[in-house]
């Protein structure tokens, strides 16, 4: 089989049936959202795991009763919080960790009862970084909250402009790393929004705290991946290239919508399969010989290594 024929056959296979409208697993009452896992009562949320009673969110992990939040983990009763962890009863926070009962704060850690503050550590009863008694704080915050959020944000922004900003956010890790929002990771180059990632480059949105990831290049929206290249929307995959919407796969390339498959090449919609090419079953020996010939043809044509987006470009369902 020549290389160009392989890509054409793969395109036909991928678009031979309609795709799922959403991709969710172990989800209860989560009809309006996508990429939701182990969650309950979720509305218009995306890429969410272990959440309950959350609305209008993206990249939420272990959150409860949160609305209009993004990249939020292990938090409860939050509104309009972004890139935060461990919050309780907070609103309009960004880049804050382990805070409670606080509003309109940026880059605060281990703070409680703070309002409109920037860069605080282990503080309580502060307004625009100025300390108050508890009674003074309650009275002044109640007065400030009579203003619409837009006005408070405008006041807050003028205060925040007085302080320098961190060049990157790296929490409990970031050893030999270049990028932003890197947590518990090391040896990462140009990585963004990652947690528990090692020895990887050009990786983004690999955030699930339960899994480790290593030796990956050009991957995003994934969890528990090892030795993968150009993979998106995959989980628990090892030594895979050019994969999308796959889970529990290994030693495979150019696959889409495959689950628990090993040594598959150019396959789609398979489950619990091994040694398949374009969904056709081979013996191990036949598979190895055929894959080598296909790759040789693609390399001679200068097309091996195309991303799935390039391969499927222009195709229609």
> Considering the entire predicted model, what is its pTM?
0.84
- For residue 20, being part of any structural domain is answered with no
The structural domain count of the chain equals: 4
- For residue 8, being part of any structural domain is answered with no
- For residue 238, being part of any structural domain is answered with yes
Q: Are residues 271 and 306 in the same domain?
A: yes
Q: Are residues 119 and 179 in the same domain?
A: no
Nearest to 312 by CA among 264, 254, 273, 272: 254
Q: Are residues 66 and 108 in the same domain?
A: no
- For residue 213, being part of any structural domain is answered with yes
Beta bridge partners of 28: 40
Q: Are residues 216 and 255 in the same domain?
A: no
Q: Are residues 285 and 213 in the same domain?
A: no
- For residue 3, being part of any structural domain is answered with no
- For residue 44, being part of any structural domain is answered with yes
- For residue 7, being part of any structural domain is answered with no
- For residue 282, being part of any structural domain is answered with yes
List of long-range contacts for 236-245, beta carbons under 8 Å, 24+ apart: 236/211, 242/306, 242/307, 242/308, 242/311, 243/308, 244/308, 245/23
| Residue 219 tokens, joined | 């991957």
Residue-range definition of the domain harbouring residue 192: 170-223
Q: Are residues 258 and 300 in the same domain?
A: yes
pLDDT tens sequence for the chain (317 residues):
544 489 999 999 999 988 877 788 888 999 888 889 899 999 999 999 999 999 999 999 999 999 999 999 999 999 999 999 999 999 999 999 999 999 999 999 999 999 999 999 999 999 999 999 999 999 999 999 999 999 988 888 887 887 788 778 887 766 899 999 998 899 999 999 998 999 999 999 997 767 789 999 999 999 899 999 999 999 999 999 999 999 999 999 999 999 999 999 999 999 999 999 999 999 999 999 999 999 999 999 999 999 998 988 854 44
């Amino acid at each position: 089989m020549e290389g160009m024929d392989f890509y054409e056959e793969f395109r036909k296979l991928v678009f031979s049936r309609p795709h799922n409208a959403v991709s969710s697993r172990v989800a209860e009452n989560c009809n309006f959202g996508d990429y939701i896992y182990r969650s309950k009562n979720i509305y218009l949320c995306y890429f969410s795991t272990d959440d309950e009673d959350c609305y209008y969110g993206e990249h939420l992990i272990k959150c409860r009763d949160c609305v209009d939040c993004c990249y939020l983990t292990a938090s409860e009763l939050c509104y309009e919080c972004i890139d935060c962890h461990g919050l309780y009863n907070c609103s309009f926070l960004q880049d804050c960790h382990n805070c409670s009962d606080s509003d309109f704060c940026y880059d605060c850690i281990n703070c409680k009862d703070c309002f409109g503050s920037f860069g605080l550590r282990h503080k309580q009863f502060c307004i625009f970084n100025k300390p108050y008694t508890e009674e003074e704080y309650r009275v002044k915050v109640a007065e400030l909250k009579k203003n619409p959020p837009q006005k408070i944000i405008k006041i807050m922004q003028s205060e925040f402009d007085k302080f320098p900003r961190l060049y990157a956010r790296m929490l409990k890790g970031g050893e030999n790393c270049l990028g932003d929002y890197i947590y518990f990771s090391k040896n990462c180059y140009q990585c963004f929004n990652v947690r528990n990632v090692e020895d990887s480059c050009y990786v983004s949105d690999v955030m699930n705290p339960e899994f480790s990831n290593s030796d990956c290049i050009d991957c995003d929206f994934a969890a528990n991946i090892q030795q993968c290249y150009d993979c998106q929307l995959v989980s628990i995959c090892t030594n895979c290239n050019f994969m999308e919407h796959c889970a529990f796969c290994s030693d495979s390339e150019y696959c889409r919508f495959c689950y628990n498959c090993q040594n598959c090449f150019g396959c789609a919609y398979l489950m619990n399969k091994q040694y398949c090419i374009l969904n056709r079953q081979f013996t191990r020996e036949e598979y190895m010989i055929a894959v080598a010939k296909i790759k040789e043809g693609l390399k001679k044509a200068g097309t091996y290594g195309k991303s799935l987006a390039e391969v499927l470009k222009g195709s229609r369902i």
